[in-house]
Structure 1
Amino acid sequence: MSRRTPRLFTAALAVGALLLGGCAEKTSTDTPAASGSSAASFPVTVGQLTLNKRPEKIVSLSPTATEMLFAIGAGSQVTAVDDQSNYPPEAPKSDLSGFQPNAEAIAGKSPDLVVLSDDMNKIVDQLTTLKIPVLLAPAAATLDDTYQQITDLGALTGHPSEASDLTRKMKDDIAALTKDLPQRPKKLTYFYELGPELYTATSKTFVGSVYTLVGLVNIADPSDANGTNGGYPQMSQEVILKADPDFIFLADVQQANQDAATVKARSGWAGLTAVKEGRVIELDDDIASRWGPRVVDLLRVIVDATAKVPA
């Protein structure tokens, strides 16, 4: 049987993010405090990147970075995005690829900042040779990584206060969603589906950590206990049926046309607790595979679903 790359892998690679390692490279922000965008001062340094003035032609080759940039008010500075950046709707369209980045095509946009989530084809060196500033913002492993990336982008784009406001709001929203969760004598279990081939994500991944916030137990954890699969194992149908999860969360709705009906139609799955109790939750594939501001929306869906189960 051929091994097909699951949805989260495909999405991550398409935006240049290497998720298999399960860890994100952190950057640090070294910039003076500012009371607002109008007070943002340059030069600004993030990691080894220094910008002498506010960038006005940003190219984002990461859907998550695109969402972050617009969320902090830097959308008007974004002149091109990769072909996977579909949110927000007003993001400028282009045929640039984050999975197979082309330095010449990127340079043709005359960017004064390029944001990437992985160094595919050694694109960082290519752009650096062309004297194009590059920020590498890899896939987050934790929420703190997400907050740091938002902070870094805020500093580099001249929107430090908006970035601070966004991270504060995200933290407040997450705290509000998780503060009154019921104490259950037995924790609820779940299976998170990346594709109908039964690829999944364990608690050691970014998305898995979101489910952990709600107190859910991931039935996939034993399948990659030693981390051989980088937190993304392919499970067997037999193991899933035996585990009988309380919930099934589908992150392959748009990409693979999966829904509660197709899950129920699978051999043996109609008897699963999640199916019988109507707990097959259809997610937005993009929200479920990105680590940006909309992670709060993902958490809200999870909390709302579990709240319907009596403690």
Structure 2
Amino acid sequence: MRPVHTALAGALLGALTLAACGQSGGTAAGSATPATPAPAASSQAPGFPVTVQAGNGAVTIPAKPAQIVSLSPTATENLFAIGAGPQVAAVDDQSTYPADAPKTDLSGFKPNAEAIIAKKPDLVVLANDTGGVVAALTKVGIPVLLEPAATKLEESYDEIADLGAATGNPGKAAQVTSDMKAQIERLAAAAPKDAGLTYFHELDNTPYSVTSGTFIGQIYGMFGLTNIADKAPDAAGGYPKLSSEFVAKADPDLIFLADTKCCGQSKQTLAKRPGWGGLSAIKKDQVFPIDDDIASRWGPRVVDFAKAVDAAVKKAAG
């Protein structure tokens, strides 16, 4: 079995059980004094110090950060989208977008505090607090924002706002979220929701899938689709492992493949699976590849994911 898909790995690490919170200005009352002085940051900028309510509580950033380390592919995309790209000094090994992000061998799944500290960051952003890395970095005075995997769109927007406040780019962050909302709402409003279409979203070729209660599932729900995985015998926190027999019996109208890059899956490979050759989605050419990364991240490219779903629904309903 291949390494667990990004979205699934985040769920198994417990990331999806956490919710990001909003940001507020000022300094957190009663916040602990760092064990050592914080790393040097850029000259004082308007709006700083600022306190952001993240997954690890109230985090105060004393000055506009100039040496950000991102250990979350979604956070990396968010940072560049809001104009904070020039402030990013290093990103994790899974941050593949944008192409010019300063990619390193740092890991977001197994973060090494010493390796992160060696980058001399004045802000670290991550999605998982694995191995107590948040405490380790906070202990040496490095501000850390824990921005866990969003479980709904509002949390995605909130995390973008958090990063906007933390990096001194609140206006651009607000514009990004406004544009995302407008585009997604416009697509969903125009979608044909009375077609009664069912779907199967494949995370990997095991196959793992998603239920309607996940971030991904909620996007599909906005387009009036019914998820076959909702009837799985074991929901597994929203990411059930389905049997081939289960999928064959459900015979979904649409199949979305989010494992084309990782696992080379296609309509042709699906047709070779036992009992799948006769599936309606395969016979009617209703198998849709979805970029693995877009389908597993909750940043601005959620709009691209929504566009792909919209195109598929219109093709099937037309």
Q: Structures share a fold, TM > 0.5?
A: yes
SS at match of 1:269: coil
Quote the residue 1:245 is aligned against: 252
1:6-62: CA deviation from partner (whole Å, max 9, x where unpaired): 42456x44xxx7565643322221128xxxxx9851111112111121000000000
Quote the residue 1:30 is aligned against: 24
| Superposition deviation, residue 204 in structure 1 | 0.7
Q: What RMSD in Å do the two structures reach over aligned CA positions?
A: 1.9
Q: Does 1:292 align with 2:299?
A: yes
Quote the residue 2:220 is aligned against: 211
Q: TM-score, normalised by structure 1?
A: 0.91
Quote the residue 2:30 is aligned against: none
Range with greater deviation from structure 2 (22-31 or 270-279): 22-31
Distance 1:190 1:159 in 2: 39
Alignment of 1:231-242 (within 5 A): 231-242=238-249
Note closer, same or farther for the CA distance 1:78–1:155 as it changes in structure 2 (3 Å cut).
same
Unaligned runs of 5+ in 2: 27-43
Q: Does 1:268 align with 2:262?
A: no
Alignment of 1:40-51 (within 5 A): 40-47=46-53, 48-51=58-61
Note closer, same or farther for the CA distance 1:19–1:209 as it changes in structure 2 (3 Å cut).
farther
Quote the residue 1:100 is aligned against: 110
| Superposition deviation, residue 134 in structure 1 | 0.3
Alignment of 1:168-187 (within 5 A): 168-184=178-194, 186-187=195-196
SS at match of 1:114: strand
Letter in 2 for 1:80: A
Alignment of 1:76-87 (within 5 A): 76-87=86-97
Range with greater deviation from structure 2 (140-149 or 216-225): 216-225
Q: Does 1:190 align with 2:199?
A: yes
| Superposition deviation, residue 87 in structure 1 | 0.3
Aligned-residue identity in percent: 51
Distance 2:264 2:91 in 1: 26
Quote the residue 1:123 is aligned against: 133
Quote the residue 2:73 is aligned against: 63
Alignment of 1:158-169 (within 5 A): 158-169=168-179
Letter in 2 for 1:266: R
Distance 1:22 1:58 in 2: 24
1:138-190: CA deviation from partner (whole Å, max 9, x where unpaired): 00000000000000000000000000000000000001111112242x51000
Note closer, same or farther for the CA distance 1:90–1:214 as it changes in structure 2 (3 Å cut).
same
Distance 2:12 2:250 in 1: 29
Distance 1:40 1:146 in 2: 25
SS at match of 2:282: helix
Q: Is the 8 A contact 1:22 1:231 kept in 2?
A: no
Quote the residue 2:5 is aligned against: 7
Total equivalences in the alignment: 297
Distance 2:181 2:48 in 1: 28
Q: Is the 8 A contact 1:9 1:19 kept in 2?
A: no
